[in-house]
Structure 1
Amino acid sequence: MASFEVIGGNPLKGEIVPQGAKNEALQILCAVLLTSEPVTISNIPDIRDVNKLIELLRDMGVKVGKLASDTYRFQADDVHLSYLDTPEFVAQGRALRGSVMILGPMLARFGKCQLPKPGGDKIGRRPLDTHFVGLEKLGGKLTLEGLDFYRINADGRLRGAHMLLEEASVTGTANILMAAVLAEGTTTIYNAACEPYVQQLCKMLVRMGARITGIGSNLLTIEGVESLGGTEHRMLPDMIEIGSFIGLAAMTGSEITIKDCQIQELGVIPDTFRKLGIQLEFRGDDIYIPAQDRYQIATYLDGSILTVSDHTWPGLTPDLLSIVLVVATQAKGTVLIHQKMFESRLFFVDKLIDMGAQIILCDPHRATVIGLNKRTRLHGITMTSPDIRAGVALLIAALSADGRSIIENVEQIDRGYQYIDKRLTSLGAQIRRL
C-alpha cells in the first residue's frame, strides 16, 4: 500500500492541464462493444479504473492498440463470450464499478451477458435496479444467483419500450441507451440523466449510426438500428479535476491557470466556488485563479447560512462536495454541506477535525463547516484515504496545512487522478510517494 508524504503550507504557481474525464471514459470504452468496426478514442486518462476496464476489454477479445499516450484504437470483432464464464472475469468485474456498463452493449449485440456485483468506492448504497429494470423492459431476462451475481439474456433482438427511470442514474441511463440503439423499434427514456458525459456518449453513438434525439434533455428518444459502425471520439476534460484544482488554489493561496477546461460543459461548478468567495477569471477556455489571502462564503439574501448540496445535472455533481467541504474549512463564514445521494461520503471529516477544522457532522448526509478564515491553519497528521474524492480532498487539506502529513492508501486517489503527485509537484507542491 502506497502513501504520500506531504509538506504543506507553500503556495503553488503555474499552469495545469486537466486529464480526460474518468466518468465519461468508463461509458465510452464500454460502447466499443457495440460494433465490430474500429473505434479510436483520445484524451483517455491514465488512471487505475480506466486501465482496468481496458484490460477487461482486451481479455474479452477486443483488439486494443495504443496509438499515443492518451489515444487507443479498439475493435470488438472477435469477442470471446466464453471468457465471461472464467474466474478471471469474475475477479475483474468485482474490482471495478464501471464494469456494469458492459451489460447493455453485450445484451444488445450478443443477446446475453453476466456480471458479478461490481466494486468501486464504499460511499453508501449504490443499487443497480435502474440498470436491470430498464434492460428488462427492452426484453432482457434477469437471473440473480445469490445476492452478487447477475445473468441477463434475450430471446432474439431487443425491442424498444417506453420507460420512466426511478432515478436519473448516469450509468443506468448509459447502459439502457447502449442497449436501445440496437433494439427493434423506438425507445423513450424519461428522467434520463443528462450530464455532459451522457451527452458525449449520445454524440459518439450518433456518429456510429445511432438515431437519438433529445440529447442534453431528460427525455431521450432512440430509433433502433440494425448495426453500428466505427468512429473517432475525443473525451472532455475531467470536471471533477477542474473543480479540485480550483479548490486547491484557494486553500493554498496559489495562482493557478487551468488550461483547456471546456468551460461551457462545467455547468454550475464555477459559480458554486464563487459562492465560497473564490475569484475565477475565464481566459478563453482557460480558468485563471489568482492568489487570495482570504475568501468569504456568501449568504442568502436574508442573511441565512448558505447550503451547498448535490443534485442531478444541471445541479452540482456529488463528486465535488468533498472538495467544497474542505475548501470551506479555511473560508470566512459558515456553510451547510448536504450530500443527498450517498450516506457514507462525509465519513472523512474526522480527519479534517483532527487537522484543526471546525466541522459539525450533523448526520450521514449533512455537515456544517465553520470557516477558520485562515487565522488558524490546519496542521499535518497521518490519515487514510477512504475513497477517490475524499482522498483528493485530504491531499488538498495536507497541502494547505502546516507541517508534514502522511496520506495512506493513495491507490484510491490513483483510481481517479492521473499522476497527481507529479503534476502538483510541477506547480511547487512538496509531495513524495512512499
Structure 2
Amino acid sequence: MIMHIDMDAFFASVEQRDNPDLAGKVLVVGGASDRGVVAAASYEARRYGIHSAMPMFMARARCPHLVIVPPRKQRYSEVSRSIMAILDDYSPVVEQVSIDEAYLDAAGCQRLFGPPEAMARAIKAEIRQKQALTCSIGVAPLKFLAKIASDMHKPDGLTVIFPEEVAERIAVLPIEKVPGVGRKARQQLSRLGIRQLGDVCRFKPVQLTERLGKFGHRLMELAQGRDATRVTVHAPAKSISSECTLPADTRDRGVLRRHLLSQSQEVGRQLRRQGYLARTITLKLKQSDFRQLTRSFSLTRPSHASETIFRTAAALLDQQSLETPIRLIGVGASALVGDTTPQQVSLFESREHQATGWEKVDRAVDRITARFGQSAVHRGSLDPPEDIGRD
C-alpha cells in the first residue's frame, strides 16, 4: 500500500499557526498588489471561491475583508523539512514531490506500525502534535489512486482504497481527477464520450495513442488497474526557477534586467544549496496580452554560477524585440546534473568560463545570507539599473 500525504492549505496554515491573530481569518498568501497572484488560500478563503493562482484583484473582489500575508519561503521550507523528517521515521521509502506533499511506501512497515490505516492515523497525529498542522492522507495499492484519495476528504482527511475496491473506484472515477489529464486531454476524451476512467476500457489502445500519444497508453494502463510508477527516494529535481509579476507592464530593458539579476541570484543559490549544475537556462516572459514566451540556451559547460545564469538570461532577453510590454519575467535552470559530475575542461577561455570565477563570490555570499538573511548582502548593480551587466 502506498500513501500520499498532502498538507492542508500549507502556506496559509503555517501563517495562521505562527500568528494566532490570523486564526479563522479569510487569509491568502501572496503579493499584495492587484497584479499579484494567490500562492495559497486558507479554507476560510476557499469558501468565497478564492483559490491558488487566482489574480489578487479577483480575490479582493470576492472578499473585501481579505487578509493578505506576504510569503515567507524560508519558513515554509523549514517546516517542510520537519514534516519530511517525521515521515522518514515511518518508512525508508519516502518521495517528496513538492514542499507540502510526499509519497510513502508502507510495504514492510506493518510490524512496527500496524496496518496502513493505523499507520496513516499515527502520522496525522504526530504531525498535529509536533507541528500543530493538519494533513490529508490517501492510501491505495496504486500510486495514482493514493494521490486521488488524499484529495477526497480535505481538510484533515483520511481515505483508504483497499485492493478489492480498486476496480469499482476506477470504473466511476471522473476523468478530470486522473493526474495528467489537463484541459486539452479532457476535450479530446470528451469527444470520445469518455467521462469516467472506466470508460477508457471500451477503446483499443491505438485509438487513444492516436489522440493522446504516449499518455493514451498510460491512461489505458490506469483504467485497467495497473500503475508501474513506484515511490522513489529522493527523486532529483527536474528544474529550478524564479519568476515574478511586475508592478507595471514595461518594455524598459533596464528594469527587466534588474529583475533577471535578482532572479538569477536566487536560482543560483538554490542550485548550489541542492548540489546541482544546470546545462540549460530558460528565460520566461509573459506579455501584457498574457501570451507567454520561453527561450532557452544550452551551456557548453554546466554551471551553478549566478553570473553565468544572469549573462545567459540577459542575452536571451536582448534577442527579444519587446514590441508588447512585459507583465511577468522569470529565469529557469534545467537539465540538472550533480555538482560532483566530472566536467571537460576547455583549452580556451570563454565568457562562460570567466563567469565561473564568480562561484567563490557566490559561495561567500551564500554563507553570509544563510547566517544573516538574504537582505544582508547583494550585488550593487541591483540598485542602479544602468550598471547591470557591466564587468
Task: Report the TM-score when normalising by structure 2.
Answer: 0.31
Structure with bigger RCO (C-alpha 8 Å, 6+ apart): 1
Task: Report the TM-score when normalising by structure 1.
Answer: 0.29
Whichever of the two has the greater Rg, that structure is: 2
Q: Which has the higher helix share?
A: 2
